Structure 1
């Protein structure tokens, strides 16, 4: 495990969530806890669409006050879930 400030990141779990190695190298410049706007930038959508996915439970994240945060592992789960569905 690596530590980012007080946040402990399980790197092996992240790698396991990206078994094909498609996304992690592209996410390296993003923080572990991403804002909806950062997720939107990465996925070429809008922050509004990402917040809609979060509210519907289609993407996992957590609310801190009125703001949403999305862990990278949740984004990977969402991306690979979409790939499996297609």
Structure 2
């Protein structure tokens, strides 16, 4: 029952097969998105851990820098 001007007819079977293919592709995209989201969260966790270490090291360096000048007078007081 296709119209005489059309070169091809699209059947319900064709539409059904296309919808099934699109669902399969959509499932693949959703899976990839879930994986990408998990990877992003993992990277953010790792970056935060590195930032904590950097700030801890900076604090330790500041504490050492504050203590070192005090060692000279303390050593002189004890006859060193």
State the TM bucket, normalised to the shorter chain. under 0.3
Query: Which protein has the bigger strand share?
Result: 1
The TM-score with structure 2 as length reference comes to 0.21
Larger CA Rg, structure 1 vs 2: 2
Query: Which protein has the bigger helix share?
Result: 2
